Structure 1
Amino acid sequence: MRKRTLAIAMTTVLVTGLAACGGAGTDTKEGSSSEKSDSGKEITLKVFDAHAYGLDEYADMAKKFEESHPGVKIEVQHAANDSNTLLQSRVNSGDIPDVFDVEAGTSAQKYYEYAYDWSNDKEVLDKFNEAALETGKDADGNIMSLPWTYENMGLIYNKDLFQKAGITELPKTMDELEEACEKLDAAGITAFSLAAKESWVLQQLSSHFMMDKSLDAKGVVEKLNSGDLKFKDMKNFQNVFKFLDLAVKYGPDKPLEVDWEKSENMLANGEAAIIHMGDWCQSTLDSFNPDANLGFLPCPVSDNPEDVTLLSSCNWTYLVNKDSEHLDLAKEYLEYILTSEEGLKWMTEGVGAVPGAKNTQEVKGALANDASVYVSEGKTNGWIHTIEPNGYADIVGPALQAYMSGDMTAEQVTEEFQNGWVVQ
């Protein structure tokens, strides 16, 4: 999620009367009723939400919670960009939100000391899929956070452009990917619109080429941590450079100026055939072109068709501040947004994703539904970038940008990856 997640150039504290949220990239304000609590004092619940998807549905959801809790105001900071920095700044200043979310794994572990332990809340935990709850456990098996949605990540392609170029089968090897690029180019189609301006996109892309399906994501990380595995010895890692070469050759003239928004806009509107992103961007793609005919393309990483990867995880997880002045209300709000009918609508319709909670709702997102086929067939693997060492992403993303600009060699970038993998 880094972010992808995200996504939207928007960091707004929402504090005034609850109005419908705007679309991606707009300032948004939600607030509350002016009614007081039973004690006559208005209660403000501070929420930090590291997303900018499904904002209309989120606003409706928060408003309904306020209406059922007179005197309660939900104050939300949606922080799609630099969410880690913004959250850490609030924690450092002592302004810890009552409810907040971070990426599961390494990022979340930094905040477990502030988190409420859900381990004994059996009625709440029973509302979630067991596998999804695993992402919120600490080293002792305590459940310190609750899962948001399953997210799937890989290449996303424009089916109509592939058809126009005469590509009848999805490429499964690096050579087949290059052949597909050649066909697209011959048809006058820009093959790639990789969001290379976003270092997190490149870093997440690189994790496909770190993957070893015989080890899975956790196994790769464990071997890197122990020193038993080096980047220079990974069987597929050098192919990340071949991939980036294709993205430069068959992409826009200035690939490092393509941000997430331009990347997704070009794909949705038929100006480019392939991007790297996850199904979290469904609502943004729909806003650019609701009729876009898109699907997942598992990422080729080698000359073996079986090595293609679509990565899947319950990546984002929500925590409740254990020292909140309104602990019970904070717990209730988090349970509400993740398991209630309104919360499930936010996730399945607004975001277009599969919730970590048990549910029977139909998922709106075409990409999430497309990914579910690969998930059901066992053709996915986990996420490495959520369990990597802290600070690693800040090193390797810029290194890949430097390779694309010609300022670093593949050997230098590989060494940078190795040096950046510092176990805490």
Structure 2
Amino acid sequence: YCYDFTGTEILGELTSDNYALKDGDAVLGIAYVVESYGLIVNKTLLQKAGYTVEDIQSFADLKKVAEDITARKAELGFAAFTSAGMDGSSDWRFKTHLANLPIYFEYQADNIGTTKAIKGTYLDNYKAIFDLYINNSTCEPSALAGKTGDDSRNEFLAGEAVFYQNGSWEYSQLTGENAFADEDLAMIPIYIGVGDEAKQGLCTGTENYWCINKDAKPEDIQATLDFITWCVTSETGTKAMAEDMGFVIPFKNAQESENLFVRQDAEYLAAGKVPVSWNFPTMPSENWKNELGSALTSYAAGMGSWDDVVKAFVDGWASEYALLG
């Protein structure tokens, strides 16, 4: 039922083709709001450890810095990473957001946009970044099952860790009175040691798209196209989207955001960095995420093996898709 946006003015206004929802060559949806996630950095603590964000341009760099901070944790007074909490308020950061990276890179390598049978090509890299998180943290891996999203944020706010995996939506929670100033913070990509890391951007995407019913009257389709194009090109429209609705829109004429992390994503794009797209809609089910989360929790606690994680990821993916028919 979706109208094909190919050749429309609004499609040409997107800042990246990654924000066009495609089925083959057809463009069936246009993202109208985007968010980014990555590693939020306390630049002050990083500098105290003897580094800057410019020193971290790859997984190898991140590993070197994190393990050095851990080796000097008693001396420095802080850890590398906040707790990778696997409580329900926090586990989505790892069973969904972190899991997105090996999925993204597999899709890129195989030139696909979805699959009913994930191969797990980059699960060794997924293990490497998860191990880095849990072994260079504010707490022991065995304690992560009970750690919450608030715990992780509060550790970061208290200056207990340098890195905090989260997104642009956290900006208001981390800044303002008795919190950080913009100059204290940065967001860097989540490197996992795959692809051209020098060109990797933040994980930027959406689950929110404009679609048009292709069976509507031609004049209604055109009126809809005119309206949504006006929303993202005119001063009044873009101001309403940014200020009244609070949206960060992925269009060339977007109003500049006050959110530091949003501005940094724009800087990455301007520098030619390639955003890691969100592939959450291709994950087979919530049950798949939950089973993966359980396997990760058991692994972190030393009660399960990484093979169990791989099984949940690969075999669970296939079995959940099989249930969909």
TM-score normalised to the size of structure 1? 0.57
Q: Distance in 1 between matches of 2:244 and 2:167?
A: 15
Aligned to 2:171: 282
Aligned to 1:410: 306
Q: Distance in 2 between matches of 1:225 and 1:139?
A: 13
Distance 1:233 1:125, change over 3 A: closer
Given that 1:156 and 1:297 are in contact with CA atoms closer than 8 Å, whether structure 2 keeps it comes out as yes
Query: How many Å apart are 1:410 and its aligned residue?
Result: 1.3
Given that 1:201 and 1:276 are in contact with CA atoms closer than 8 Å, whether structure 2 keeps it comes out as yes
Distance 1:232 1:164, change over 3 A: same
Aligned to 1:206: 99
One-letter amino acid of the structure 1 residue matched with residue 250 of structure 2: G
Aligned to 2:48: 164
SS at match of 1:237: helix
Match of 1:260 among 143, 146, 149: 149
Match of 2:26 among 128, 141, 153: 141
Q: Distance in 2 between matches of 1:149 and 1:364?
A: 15
Q: Write the deviation string for residues 94-133 of structure 1: whole angstroms up to 9, x where unpaired.
A: xxxxxxxxxxxxxxxxxxx5xx536389455555446255
TM-score normalised to the size of structure 2? 0.71
Aligned to 1:21: none
Match of 2:125 among 219, 236, 250: 236
Given that 1:312 and 1:382 are in contact with CA atoms closer than 8 Å, whether structure 2 keeps it comes out as yes
Aligned to 2:203: 312
Question: What RMSD over aligned residues (CA atoms) do the two structures have, in Å?
Answer: 4.2
The structure with the largest helix share of the pair is: 2
Q: In the comparison of the two structures, how many residue pairs are matched?
A: 302
Q: Distance in 1 between matches of 2:313 and 2:165?
A: 20
- Matching of residues 306-345 of structure 1 within 5 Å: 306=197, 310-319=201-210, 322=213, 341=235, 344-345=238-239
Aligned to 1:386: 280
- Matching of residues 18-417 of structure 1 within 5 Å: 117=3, 119=5, 122=8, 124-125=10-11, 127-129=13-15, 131=17, 133-134=19-20, 136-139=21-24, 141-143=26-28, 145-168=29-52, 169-170=55-56, 172=58, 173=60, 174-193=63-82, 194-197=84-87, 198-203=90-95, 204-209=97-102, 212=105, 217-219=107-109, 222=112, 225=115, 230-231=119-120, 234=123, 236-248=125-137, 250=139, 254-286=143-175, 289=179, 291=181, 293-302=184-193, 306=197, 310-319=201-210, 322=213, 341=235, 344-345=238-239, 348=242, 354-359=248-253, 361-383=255-277, 385-386=279-280, 388-391=282-285, 392-417=288-313
Distance 1:267 1:310, change over 3 A: farther
Given that 1:129 and 1:356 are in contact with CA atoms closer than 8 Å, whether structure 2 keeps it comes out as yes
Aligned to 1:420: 316
Query: How many Å apart are 1:394 and its aligned residue?
Result: 3.3
Distance 1:195 1:220, change over 3 A: farther
Distance 1:222 1:186, change over 3 A: farther
Q: Write the deviation string for residues 171-203 of structure 1: whole angstroms up to 9, x where unpaired.
A: 741244322333455311133223432222012
Given that 1:283 and 1:351 are in contact with CA atoms closer than 8 Å, whether structure 2 keeps it comes out as no
Structure 1 unmatched ranges of 5 or more: 1-112
Given that 1:232 and 1:414 are in contact with CA atoms closer than 8 Å, whether structure 2 keeps it comes out as no
SS at match of 2:170: helix
Q: Write the deviation string for residues 190-231 of structure 1: whole angstroms up to 9, x where unpaired.
A: 33223432222012223335564xx6x44358499486x733
Distance 1:311 1:171, change over 3 A: closer
SS at match of 1:282: helix
Query: How many Å apart are 1:257 and its aligned residue?
Result: 3.6
Given that 1:399 and 1:408 are in contact with CA atoms closer than 8 Å, whether structure 2 keeps it comes out as yes
Given that 1:353 and 1:363 are in contact with CA atoms closer than 8 Å, whether structure 2 keeps it comes out as no
- Which structure has more RCO (C-alpha within 8 Å, separation ≥ 6)? 2
Q: Distance in 2 between matches of 1:352 and 1:366?
A: 14
Query: How many Å apart are 1:147 and its aligned residue?
Result: 1.1
Structure 2 unmatched ranges of 5 or more: none
